[in-house]
Structure 1
Amino acid sequence: MPFHVKVINATVRDATYVLDGLLYHESDLQIQEHYTDTSGYTEQVFAMCHLLGFKFAPRMRDLPDKKLYTFESTSSDEVLSPLLGGKINVKLISESWDEILRLASSIRTGTVTASLMLRKLASYPRQNRLALALRELGRIERTLFTLEWLQSPELRRRATAGLNKGEAKHTLKRAVFFNRLGEVRDRSYEDQFYRASGLNLVVAAIVLWNTVYLEKAVDYLKQQGVDIPEEYLQHLSPLGWEHINLTGDYVWNLKQASGFDNLRPLRVKENRYR
């Protein structure tokens, strides 16, 4: 379900804001692994995710064109030479290590936002030693990730499943946001943020509704003697909306809120071919 929303400029790459969602979501989630598509990664994001304790697993469309980096120089006649892109500048990382740790600590504590610092570092990468050091550290992490990606079918399946969940959530959001053909036409940042937050709230309500009734449906089937292995439940998705009327007005009246002990009865369809 959605746990973070941020209004960004459409011309800025998604990777700039990846860490904002992981660090500043203000929820009880303990995020360990994060998946993105090609636009969601840079070598600096790889470096910062490693420093901040997140496993970063992007699905890179241009992976065959990416080079691997080593700590030692290699000759051109080696078998792996077409895959190698160069040597890691360990000296630069070592000399800038204190600055790297200060940057990671500042981002972790919220002294500065991750998106602000990544945007500043990306604006002049060749003139700033910290930006260059982060790039070198990110190349190490990207090389290790690439090798794991090539050798681990489980990682590829897990990342694909995670991205598919994200795309299913986006599809639900597009279905909910039918007003004005799904376009945000508010001019001020505050109004845009309120509209995006309201959309997140509606989607979260649908996910919660579906999750509660999926649990009730599973319990009912188990009471009827149907064997449902627990490992099958992870493949159920609460992102469907065919049974929900999305048209009309969304009114937030907390005085009419009902608890989970007052739910609608399940609509049970008899099996005619029993």
Structure 2
Amino acid sequence: MSDDNMEKAMADITNYHHQQPYAVHWGDGSTSSSDGVRVKSAVEALNASYNPHYGLEKGVTMYSAVSDQYSRFGVGVINTNSIDAIHIVDILLNHRTELEIEEHYTDTAGYTDQVFGLTHLLGFRFAPRLRDISDCKLYCIERKEDFKNIQSVIKGKINTKIIKENYDDILKLVYSIKKGKVSGSLIMGKLGSYARQNSLAKALTELDKIEKTIFILDYLSDEDFRRKIQVGLNKGEAMNALARAIFFGKYGMLHEKDIQGQLQRATVLSIIINSITLWNTMYLPKAVEKLKEKEGVDESLLIHVSPLGWEHINFIGQYNFDDSSDYNLIDNMRPLREIL
């Protein structure tokens, strides 16, 4: 299925659900989360390396994002020892879908201070689930003494002077990333390697402190915000579980040496995952209707139903990617099984 056909199918399913009296609705496409799946490499590849956390075999990481609508997008193949967080900007800017992401979630492994300021300037909100958040320190623009009740958690004062002095260069850098002149992962990797010697890196660090402080205050004071982050990350974990199940019965290995071949395999995996998601999304309302004929259904629970189940999916079969077929997904739905 081509990108165009996939987008058309997703639009058909969205319209179909909006016509239902009890439409199952998971999100509006404005939030997403990202996480990596470690895959072993059966051959010597430049981007494959050892990581003692995953055993004694070389491997790479398939790093991808999932939207609040359960669509997988922005997949990439990175070194398994690379910091996940530096690839977030690349995914959010280059996913080539109609999603308009406003807020993005990661776990602690996908977090680094550098991302806070850069994502803010690019128009996204970075919201990680931080481990040991009680150890995090806050920063202020005014005097530390002005915050008598929380002085113990204020580490220092923001250097607004260096931000002002380098702000034009910061905007030029952000514009270059936005227009694709340079990748966000490359910039964050470079700036992180010589932050002490570079005034631009220092200015970005001060911006990071501002955004991180605002985030921590929101995170601690807003229970709904914390729950929203956790829900987003749960969707990513469920998506990764489906990816492992599809990828050769949980024992998948990459046999491609070049990055292009690895990306091709990762992209096909995304297409299959999204196809299963679309299939389940189509049939869930029909299944609810059938259940209602037998017993009562608490419709308030439908928002907690995920389209990522696969117990009914046969992974051992034929995969047809024929673009020439004019198959109408909605008008050719299979009959449901009888409920015993």
Is the structural similarity TM-score above 0.5?
yes
Distance in 2, Cα, partners of 1:246 & 1:183: 17
User: Is 2:281 aligned against 1:237?
Assistant: no
Which AA in structure 1 matches 2:157? K
Q: Does 1:126 align with 2:178?
A: no
Q: What CA deviation, in whole Å up to 9, does each residue of 1:187-230 have, x standing for no partner? A: 1111111111111111111111111111322345568895654x
In structure 2, relative to structure 1, the CA distance for the partners of 1:104 and 1:222 (3 Å cut) is: farther
- Which among 179, 182, 186 is matched to residue 116 of structure 1? 186
Counterpart check, 1:209 vs 2:279: yes
The alpha carbon displacement at 1:151 in A equals: 0.5
Q: Matched residue of 1:86: which SS?
A: strand
Asked if 1:185 corresponds to 2:259, the answer is no
C-alpha change, 1:177 and 1:44, in structure 2 (3 Å) is same
Match of 1:197 in 2: 267
What is the CA–CA distance in structure 2 between the aligned matches of 1:247 and 1:13, rounded to whole Å? 35
Higher helix content, 1 or 2: 1
* 1:178 Cα deviation from its structure 2 partner: 2.1
| 1:87-166 pair list within 5 angstroms | 87-166=157-236
Three-state SS of the structure 2 residue aligned to 1:69 is strand
Unaligned runs of 5+ in 2: 1-70
Question: Distance between the aligned counterparts of 1:209 and 1:76, measured in 2?
Answer: 57
How far does the alpha carbon of each residue in 1:132-191 deviate from its partner, in whole angstroms, 9 at most, with x for none? 111110111110110010010000100000000000000000000026822223211111
User: Does the 8 Å CA contact 1:38/1:58 hold for their aligned counterparts?
Assistant: yes
Inter-partner Cα distance in structure 2 for 1:110 and 1:127: 26
Match of 1:55 among 89, 100, 125: 125
**1:254 matches 2:323:** yes
Secondary structure at the residue paired with 2:210?
Answer: helix
Letter in 1 for 2:307: P
Partners of 1:139 and 1:77 in 2: CA distance: 17
Taking the aligned partners of 2:151 and 2:324, their CA distance within structure 1 comes to 68
Residues 60-79 of structure 1: CA deviation (Å, up to 9, x unaligned): 11311111011133259944
Letter of the 2:303 partner, please give it. Answer: Q
Q: Tell me the SS of whatever aligns to 2:156.
A: strand
| Cα root mean square deviation, aligned | 2.2
Q: Distance in 1 between matches of 2:107 and 2:265?
A: 25
Look up the equivalent residue of 1:266 and give its one-letter code.
L
Distance 1:53 1:77, change over 3 A: closer
> Is the CA contact (8 Å cut-off) linking 1:222 and 1:228 kept in structure 2?
no
Tell me the SS of whatever aligns to 1:8.
strand
- Equivalent in the alignment of 1:265: 335
Cα distance in 2 for partners of 1:222, 1:131 equals 59
> CA separation of 1:180/1:211 partners in 2, compared to 1, >3 Å: closer, same or farther?
closer
Structure of higher RCO (CA pairs closer than 8 Å, 6+ residues apart) = 2
Name the TM-score, length of structure 1 as normaliser.
0.91
Task: Name the TM-score, length of structure 2 as normaliser.
Answer: 0.74
Contact kept? 2:117, 2:207, Cα under 8 Å: yes
Percentage of matched positions with identical amino acids: 47
